[in-house]
């Protein structure tokens, strides 16, 4: 595998994967891991998947299933390797990897704190419950009535995109 950036070998790609995963305190799904690791144009998705599979086979990374989703997590062996080999990566790569991992962690945290539920009402029509949490504590809940399930899906999708903006607008209107 001939790579053309700071990451030049499959071993360096493996070090990068382990290094990025060391920032995650919880198991991570493939999409988020891919998003965090793909910081260089020196390798592609298939090289990444191949290196990830080898790390899984060598027991540096394990996968678990949670809510029908495959998640990846560092093993003790992987954590030790990440600490040992992180210095093998150029500082510029480590810096970019850290920024990328923290960006993805913030996105994962945001996504896990925003919830929506569409339900049919006994009186007819549908309702949409949209809420934000701060850890386990409820922060903001909004229940609205909509005409049909399609409107409910639109409202839920819009809330997921703009939850903080909606929250700030409501708080601003209530406190001013």
| Predicted confidence (pLDDT) at residue 1 exceeds the cutoff of 70 | no
46: three-class secondary structure by DSSP: helix
Average of pLDDT values for 8-24? 94
Confidence (pLDDT) at 5: 61
Predicted confidence band of residue 99 (pLDDT cuts 50, 70, 90): very high
Q: How many helices (H) and strands (E) does the chain have?
A: 6, 6
Both structure tokens of 99: 């920024």
Whether the CB-CB separation of 46 and 61 falls below 8 Å is answered with: no
pLDDT in tens, 49-70: 999 999 999 999 999 998 889 9
How far is CA 115 from each of CA 51, 133, 158, rounded to the nearest angstrom? 34, 8, 12
Model's pTM, two decimal places?
0.77
pLDDT in tens, 110-148: 998 999 999 999 988 999 999 999 878 889 999 999 999
Question: Domain residue spans in the chain?
Answer: 10-112, 121-175
Alpha-carbon gap, residue 128 to 121, rounded angstroms: 10
CA 79 – CA 161 distance, rounded (Å): 34
| Average pLDDT of the chain, as a whole number | 92
Using DSSP bridges, classify how beta strands 28-29 and 126-134 pair: parallel, antiparallel or unpaired. Answer: unpaired
Cα–Cα distance measured from residue 79 to residue 77, given in angstroms and rounded to the nearest whole number = 6
Query: What's the average model confidence in pLDDT over 9-27?
Result: 94
Arithmetic mean of pLDDT, 31-47:
90
Q: Alpha helix (H) ranges present in 22-148? A: 30-37, 45-57, 76-85, 91-113
Strand order in the sheet with 61-66: 28-29, 69-74, 61-66
Positive or negative torsion for Cα 130, 143, 134, 95 = positive
CATH number of 10-112: 1.10.10.10
For position 159, what pLDDT does the model report? 96
Check the CA dihedral 93-36-44-19 and report its sign.
positive
pLDDT(4) > 90: no
């Amino acid at each position: 595998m001939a790579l053309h950036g700071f990451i030049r070998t499959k071993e360096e790609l493996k070090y990068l994967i382990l290094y990025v995963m060391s920032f995650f305190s919880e198991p991570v799904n493939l999409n988020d891991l891919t998003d965090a690791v793909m910081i260089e144009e020196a390798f592609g998705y298939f090289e990444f998947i191949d290196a990830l599979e080898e790390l899984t086979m060598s027991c540096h990374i394990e996968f678990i299933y949670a809510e029908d989703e495959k998640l990846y997590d560092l093993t003790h062996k992987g954590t030790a390797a990440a600490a040992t080999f992180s210095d093998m990566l150029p500082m510029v790569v480590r810096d970019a990897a850290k920024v990328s991992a923290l960006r993805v962690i913030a996105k994962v945290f945001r996504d896990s704190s925003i919830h929506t539920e569409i339900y049919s009402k006994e009186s007819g029509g549908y309702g949409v419950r949209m809420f934000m949490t701060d850890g386990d504590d409820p922060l903001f809940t909004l229940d609205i009535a909509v005409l049909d399930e399609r409107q409910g899906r639109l409202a839920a999708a819009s809330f997921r995109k703009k939850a903080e903006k909606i929250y700030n607008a409501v708080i601003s209107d209530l406190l001013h």
